[in-house]
Amino acid sequence: MNKVSPRALEGFEPFALHAKRPMDSSSPRYGLSRYRSDLNACTASIRKGSKSFHLASLLLPPETRKAAVALYAFCRHSDDLIDDPRSDRTSLEQLKQRLRLIYQGRPADYPCDRAFQKTVEDYAIPECIPLALLDGFAMDIANRRYQTLHDVKEYATGVAATVGLMMSLIMRTGEPQHLARAADLGIAMQLTNIARDVGEDARNGRIYLPLDWLEQQGINPETFLVSPRFSPELGKVVKRLLNEAERHYRLGHAGIAALPSDCQHAIRSAALIYEEIGMEIVANGYDSVTKRAHTGLMRKVSLLAAARRPAKSRAVSARQAKETAADPSAAGLVNAAARTFSIAKAKKSLQAHNVQADSASERLLCVLIRLQNESRQDLRFHKLAARQKAARLI
């Protein structure tokens, strides 16, 4: 996890000290202009804090982009608060309280909270998914160590696969096999982050590499944290982690084909940009201690252009993607998201059926009223004709 710069912390106060009363975003006070203002604030924070996501988000269709920006702004805001050196479990509990208010329809008075509340309501995002994100942040606060790769993936699921699942729901793609691939892409990106930040994390007293892998290479984690140094043995651990990330990228690329066509370019762009980080690490000889992999703007623009076409060589076969189960670390969240999506889809279908039924009833009523009016007109005509005929006989 990256540390927040001192400038980013200027003016920061714990939520409990300055948050205003919860606000009901469904009330008349939260109109279109306020929503636009909140989205502008969310976009500004993302443009400054996550240039890669900002670039990719520009390729999304407008309505999807709005929801994605709100989602990512809340996630980024939460991440920054947890990375603040002054944060502790109280900060985390305050974030959880804000999340509860969001799902009660009474978000705290923050632009990202209000905008995110509209997103979770519009796209039926189950609360357990952003809550799992906060649980992932809790691992950072506890400075947890990860004994096995599975443990590392549990962390990656919390802080990254959750975002992939919510993005999939925003793009109206909620079948279990497709959600599993979204989770794969999130896990792959987080494993790439871990591989890139080995030295930086160690200097901050954190280690995310599997401890059993380090032990197999004869690396003492405590010694490494005291004096982070690159070695060929450490390079083997980083290489192994990138190979695992690549396996998840291949599954994730196959899942992109299931997304709406106007969303695929953006998600494929994000995947290629993150994969490029891994390639930079390889080019640096797997040294993430004395070097930091970086993808320049022009290279990112080149990857955006390449992402217009499916990356078939990077993806597993459609059959393999369909038959591969969700990673065990993400299976529970995948199932929860799939259930919620299925329920929301059924409700929408029922509502559409009711609207159609109501429309049919209205049409039938109109026909009956018209027939009644015509009958009355015919009766008046016959009466008038009868009176005229009687008048002629007199």
- Residues 221 and 285 both lie in one domain: yes
The answer to whether 95 touches 133, Cβ cutoff 8 Å, is no
Whether 141 shows a pLDDT value over 70: the answer reads yes
- Residues 110 and 240 both lie in one domain: no
Q: What is the pLDDT of residue 48?
A: 80
Whether 14 shows a pLDDT value over 90: the answer reads no
- Residues 324 and 209 both lie in one domain: yes
Whether 9 shows a pLDDT value over 50: the answer reads no
- CATH number of the CATH domain containing 43: 1.10.600.10
Determine the angle formed by the axes of helices 331-393 and 128-141, rounding to 10 degrees.
150
Confidence tier at 8 by pLDDT (50, 70, 90): very low
- Residues 110 and 222 both lie in one domain: no
Do the domain assignments include residue 254?
yes
The answer to whether 160 touches 333, Cβ cutoff 8 Å, is no
Do the domain assignments include residue 221?
yes
Which class for 247: exposed (0-12), middle (13-18), buried (19 or more C-beta within 10 A)? middle
Q: What is the pLDDT of residue 156?
A: 98
Cα distance between residue 342 and residue 156, in whole Å: 26
- Residues 112 and 159 both lie in one domain: no
Mean of all residue pLDDT scores within the chain: 86
What pLDDT, in 10s, does the model give residues 72-83?
Answer: 999 999 998 888
Q: HSE on the CB side for 191, CA within 13 Å? A: 30
- Residues 55 and 7 both lie in one domain: yes
Do the domain assignments include residue 298?
yes
What pLDDT, in 10s, does the model give residues 152-162?
Answer: 999 999 999 99
Do the domain assignments include residue 5?
yes
Considering only the C-alpha atoms of the chain, give the largest distance between any 2 of them, rounded to a whole number of Å. 126
What average pLDDT does this structure show over 254-267? 96
What pLDDT, in 10s, does the model give residues 286-306?
Answer: 999 999 998 898 999 999 999
Do the domain assignments include residue 215?
yes
- Joined together, the tokens standing for residue 90 give 């109280």
Indicate the length of the chain as a whole number: 394
Whether 358 shows a pLDDT value over 80: the answer reads no
- Closest Cα partner for 181 from 315, 341, 278? 315
- Closest Cα partner for 113 from 67, 70, 81? 70
- Residues 95 and 156 both lie in one domain: no
Tell me how far CA of residue 180 lies from CA of 200, 207, 240, 256, in angstroms: 31, 27, 22, 11
- Residues 68 and 132 both lie in one domain: yes
Domain that holds residue 82: 1-138
- Residues 223 and 196 both lie in one domain: yes
Q: What is the pLDDT of residue 386?
A: 63
Cα distance between residue 48 and residue 44, in whole Å: 6
Number of domains the chain contains: 2
DSSP state, 6? G
Greater confidence, 52 or 253? Answer: 253
What average pLDDT does this structure show over 218-228? 97
- Residues 170 and 58 both lie in one domain: no
